A = this chain, B = another copy of it.
Amino acid sequence: MRDLVRIDDLNREEMERIFRLAEDMEVLRMMGSDLCKGRILATIFYEPSTRTRLSFESAMLRLGGEVLGFADPQATSFVKEETLADTIHMVCNYADLIVIRHRWAGAAALAAHHSSVPIVNAGDDSHQHPTQTLTDLYTLRKRGRRIEELTVGIVGDLRYGRAAHSLAYGLAAYGARMIFIAPEGLEMPEEVCWRLQAEYRARFETVREPKEALPELDVIYMNRLQKERLPQDLDVSEVRRILAAYRLDPEMMKHARPDCLVMHPLPRVEEIARELDADPRAIYFEQSANGVPVRMALMAILLNRVDQPPLRGKVRTVRHLEEHVCQNPVCVTQQEPNNVPPQIEEPVDGRPMCAYCSQWVTV
């Protein structure tokens, strides 16, 4: 494995290796380093970002490397109708590692298929955001928590939140217990629950009311409403009204345990009251800071700049399909059908999933 497309490509031991290296990186981060001198990172972002893009760039610069790329596809050949596949064929000639964020699910997988250099997924629609999860787990670990013993409440828009999906797999790999807390229509997707069950035998349950679960939680992981991904016919103001009941504020936090950590992939909008920032249990800013050493570690491994065996990744049974059947309109198999070999994953039990967007397909 030379790409990081999905967090479920990594097993627990591999994540631990990244985390141990990230600890060493905390020093290099302060002192500077030439570990990646002469190496170039390309950040190609088709969706808005600050945290993810800047933390990757900061990480590469701290490693002594260089950065190029774009943050706004409107200033690129995107407007001249270039395909993503062709863009990747080009960019991999100009950089040694590509970090991509895209509004299509499976975009990073398509990129990995066409690239001669490692690809890291920085978010592909509502599918996955694996380096956010590495950052999240590293934060818990650095706080001295044993992840396998935790009960983690994942709260809010779990349907469209890619950070939430990746986190669930990451926690499952450790064997943590999860409680999904979301209103009707924004629950964790059926496919994610199925995979958690089938591949991880994960411990999770779903509740409607935050207060029900709050007293049990070691960690509350809040999520922003992904309003840019909601179906167009949805009444956003109505959804926001419903989500107001999930808002975390000092009053709500009275129900939480004294050592319960509050996390958020950020940016937050209304789901966490600003008054909570002063609460020592609120560690979301610390969490965003941890993105740097984690991404330093990951990139140093992918670029072979540290004396470590490569990440092996998970071998999955895939089946090629002559006829393409994924129905997800934002899946790369719909958007650039000629540039990805149509594949489904065939799990031991259960329905086949699209190998790109992880949604169920009808064969």
Contact = CB atoms under 8 A, between A and B. Distances in A.
Nearest to A273: B338
Contacts of A338: 274
A195 to B, nearest CB: 28
Interface stretch (A79-87, A172-180, A205-213, A243-251): A79-87
Contacts of A292: 93-94
A11 interface: no
A224 to B, nearest CB: 7
Interface stretch (A36-44, A149-157, A343-351): A36-44
Contact of A95 (B58, B274, B285, B291): B58
What size tier do the contact residues of chain A reach?
35 or more
A339 B274 contact: yes
Given A89-B285, A267-B86, A51 B77 contact: yes
Interface string A132-174: 0000000000000000000000000000000000000000000
A358 to B, nearest CB: 24
Contact of A81 (B51, B62, B267, B289): B267
6 closest A-B pairs (Cβ-Cβ)? A32-B38, A82-B267, A58-B94, A93-B289, A71-B75, A50-B76
